[in-house]
Amino acid sequence: MPKEPDAPDSTSPEDDDRLVVAVIRTGGVAGLRRRWRVVPPSPEAEVWIALIDRCPWDAPRQTEPGADRYVWSIQVRMPKEQRERELADSELQGAWRELVDAVRDADAPSPEPVDDPEPVDDP
């Protein structure tokens, strides 16, 4: 199966020693795929590693994905370790939810600056 282009292991040479976290959500009624990815700057790596370490990577699956439900794939590449976990939508809670929300927030586009409109003189 080919790797996703946004997966942590498809990195450029400058990412080799960096932390990369990718979240891919598939499923739902429309079956659409959404991807988020973050490569935090070195000063923020410790905060991200703490989020990653709180997740129960080796815990047994609690539920199987159902029809028309989301499936979440969480992939992490650190300089000396890689982790991957697939979760049903109902399993996305606690530390998992915190990590996914952090990645989604970090990958959100910055809002465009809005110029204040010129004042209009009343006639």
Would you say 87 and 72 are in contact if contact means Cβ atoms under 8 Å apart? yes
Mean pLDDT rounded to a whole number for the chain: 81
How many folded domains does the chain comprise?
A: 1
Tell me whether residue 92 is in a domain.
yes
Q: What is the mean pLDDT of residues 98-120?
A: 77
pLDDT of 2 strictly over 50: no
Measured CA to CA, the distance from residue 97 to residue 101 in angstroms comes to: 6
Does residue 111 sit within a domain?
Answer: no
Q: What is the mean pLDDT of residues 56-63?
A: 85
* Domain that residue 92 falls in: 13-106
**Residue 54 resides in a domain:** yes
φ, ψ dihedrals at 95, nearest 5°: -60, -35
| pLDDT of residue 22 exceeding 70 | yes
Name the E strands within the chain.
20-27, 34-38, 70-78, 81-88
Q: Judge whether 41 lies within some domain.
A: yes
In a domain, 122, yes or no: no
Q: Is residue 61 part of a domain?
A: yes
Strands 34-38 and 70-78 turn out to be unpaired
**What's the pLDDT at 62?**
74
Higher pLDDT, 66 or 33: 33
Is 93 strand, coil or helix? coil
Rounded to 5°, the CA angle 52-57-59 comes to: 145
Q: Which two tokens stand for residue 64?
A: 């199987």
Where residue 99 falls among pLDDT bands split at 50, 70, 90?
A: very high
In this prediction, residue 13 carries a pLDDT of 47
Q: Give the C-alpha separation, 53 to 47, whole Å.
A: 10
116 within some domain = no
Residue 62 CA to chain centroid, in angstroms? 21
Residues 80-97 pLDDT 10s: 899 999 999 889 999 999
83: three-class secondary structure by DSSP: strand
Query: 30 in a domain, yes or no?
Result: yes
